[in-house]
Amino acid sequence: MPRQSLERFTPRAAIIGADDQTISIDGADAAEGPLIEMRILELLTTRLCHELSGPVAAINNGIELLDEDLEAGTPTGPAFVRDAVALVSDSAHRARNRLQFYRFAYGFSRLGASTGPAPHELAAALFSARSITFDYAESARTMSPHWQKLACNLLPVGADALPRGGRLEVSTNPLTIEAAGEAAALTAEAHAALMLTLPITEVTPRTVQPYFTGLLAKILGCRLIATAEPGRVRLTAIASGI
């Protein structure tokens, strides 16, 4: 299974792999490289901030409740304090889980020497607070870090295809993420972004995740296939040469 260096990856018009092969994206010329790079960085930052805004706002709300209770001079009792502390604690855990997951999914650390929770643990923690059940097959847990990084980027694409919740499953041979649930569907825009056929100027915070995932798959030298049927979406990564 060919593997190119992710540490050297930048989402430009041309990407240089470990074998010094230049990979063109969307037929863009070198002059468009800075535009593509900045566009993706801005949109990924926007998406990450959106992911964190909910739990951070809840932490702030819990602290404000405690502060107002203290300022009133008439504490409402231990039950109120317990609830406020629980809100802050739960929200802090959700923020931490999201940061840890996206640090692995988007980060550029030395993947061969990964420390901290394993990718499947990061993914399980991410979805634990959502109406999505999750299964990461044992065979997927032994994939190389580069392919687990791809899996962790495909997972949010699958989750976005489950507006009413459902189930996400990660399997291998080939790497497949299956999203099953009521009203499961991959939008036309998300599909185009995943296949890198969506013009960079039309990528939005909603479609930057599949677009970035498409770039990552291209770096790994694999092709992505997205199929859908009522209540089910499958995202498959096929290694080059298969």
Lowest pLDDT segment from 47-61, 102-116, 137-151 = 102-116
Cβ contact 140:175 at 8 Å: yes
Q: Answer yes or no: is pLDDT of 21 > 70.
A: no
Question: pLDDT over 90 for what percent of the chain?
Answer: 57
pLDDT-based confidence at residue 215 (cuts at 50, 70, 90): very high
Domain residue spans in the chain? 14-239
Instruction: Name the CATH superfamily, with its identifier, for domain 14-239.
Output: Histidine kinase-like ATPase, C-terminal domain (3.30.565.10)
Q: Answer yes or no: is pLDDT of 178 > 70.
A: yes
Q: Answer yes or no: is pLDDT of 242 > 90.
A: no
**pLDDT tens figures, 38-49:** 889 899 999 999
Closest to 207 measured CA to CA, from 56, 39, 11: 39
pLDDT reported for residue 231: 95
Q: Answer yes or no: is pLDDT of 18 > 60.
A: no
C-alpha span between 235 and 12 (Å, rounded): 24
Alpha helices of 2-77 — where are they, by DSSP H? Answer: 33-72
Q: What is the CA 170 to chain-centroid distance, rounded?
A: 14
pLDDT reported for residue 66: 80
pLDDT-based confidence at residue 130 (cuts at 50, 70, 90): confident
pTM of the predicted model as reported, rounded to 2 decimal places: 0.79
**pLDDT tens figures, 69-122:** 666 666 666 777 788 888 888 889 889 999 999 999 998 655 555 568 999 999
Cβ contact 143:175 at 8 Å: yes
Q: Answer yes or no: is pLDDT of 173 > 60.
A: yes
Q: For 86-118, give the DSSP string.
A: HHHHHHHHHHHHHHHHHHHHH--S-GGG--SS-
Lookup result for tokens 């470990």: 18
C-alpha span between 171 and 121 (Å, rounded): 15
